[in-house]
Amino acid sequence: MPKNDIKVALIGNPNTGKTSLFNQLTGLNQKVGNYPGVTVDKKEGVSKLSSTQNALITDLPGTYSINPTSLDESIVLKTLLKKDIKESPDVILVVADVENLKRNLLLFSQIKDLEIPTVLAINMVDQMHRKGISIDLSLLKKELNTEVVLISARKNEGINDVKEAIIRCHVAAKASPLCGINSKIDTDYFDRLKEISPNYSLYELWLMVTQSSFPETVTKEEKRSF
């Protein structure tokens, strides 16, 4: 993989159209492998974002939240947290379907709090008119403080907007979290947490000390002290 390719991970609830979007973005430039040690498919492909910029796109298994309740979900989580390894994504592309936007936004807000640059693609907009749904795109962008694009993966609409949003998102400075949990509750606790490692966001560190299924980046002693 050329060094300046933007690494993009596609994340979303099951059936939101991740694979359809993946296919539109990558065309025939894809390969299917396996995650080490498990039989879950890992699909990767290259997408030409502009004349000078490619992206390496990974189609992750569907997930409802980043609190893993299944093998698939724990794969998603591990991909998100390994900032130090070369496969870690530069940009997360969250795919939501327009009919279940509210439910989909739970996952989006969790990803956003990981402080990884995030693009939100709202898919299946071809259904909007029929379902009587309308979206104030500029208000949504402002409220979520995120690049938001409306697409129809099935009809190949908005795919260029996705590509442009990925580039903008990658260029922009680190995404800011939706809400600063540390400034709202128990500042002492979160200040102490922050001292564990400068390499992780506060939210990641919190997940590491509170979730038993988390990668052992935090030692057992550190876990116990929280």
Ligand X SMILES: Nc1nc2c(ncn2[C@@H]2O[C@H](COP(=O)(O)OP(=O)(O)O)[C@@H](O)[C@H]2O)c(=O)[nH]1
Residues that bind ligand X (CB under 6 A): 12, 14-20, 62, 123-124, 126-127, 152-154
Which C-beta is closer to Mg ion: that of 7 or that of 18? 18
Binding residues for Mg ion, total number by CB under 5 A: 2
Q: Identify whether the C-beta of residue 137 lies closer than 8 Å to the C-beta of residue 30.
A: no
Shortest distance, position 226 Cβ to Mg ion, whole Å: 36
Secondary structure string (H, E, C) spanning 20-34: HHHHHHHCCCEEEEE
Residue nearest to Mg ion (CB): 19
The full length of the chain comes to 226
Shortest distance, position 17 Cβ to ligand X, whole Å: 3
- Give the Cα separation of 153 and 160 in Å (integer): 11
In sequence order, the 6+-apart residues with CB closer than 8 A to the CB of 142 are none
- Give the Cα separation of 94 and 114 in Å (integer): 13
Question: Of ligand X, Mg ion, none, which one does residue 146 interact with (CB within 5 to 8 Å by kind)?
Answer: none
* Crossing angle between the packed helical segments 18-26 and 159-171, to the nearest 10 degrees: 90
- Give the Cα separation of 45 and 52 in Å (integer): 17
Q: Identify whether the C-beta of residue 90 lies closer than 8 Å to the C-beta of residue 118.
A: no
Question: Of Mg ion, ligand X, none, which one does residue 117 interact with (CB within 5 to 8 Å by kind)?
Answer: none
Question: Of Mg ion, ligand X, none, which one does residue 26 interact with (CB within 5 to 8 Å by kind)?
Answer: none
Shortest distance, position 93 Cβ to Mg ion, whole Å: 13
**x/- contact string, 13-42, with Mg ion (CB under 5 A)?**
-----xx-----------------------
Which C-beta is closer to ligand X: that of 152 or that of 182? 152
Please report where in the chains the tokens 């539109």 appear, as a residue: 24
- Give the Cα separation of 173 and 103 in Å (integer): 28
Shortest distance, position 49 Cβ to Mg ion, whole Å: 21
Question: Of ligand X, Mg ion, none, which one does residue 53 interact with (CB within 5 to 8 Å by kind)?
Answer: none
Question: Of ligand X, Mg ion, none, which one does residue 100 interact with (CB within 5 to 8 Å by kind)?
Answer: none
Question: Of ligand X, Mg ion, none, which one does residue 20 interact with (CB within 5 to 8 Å by kind)?
Answer: ligand X
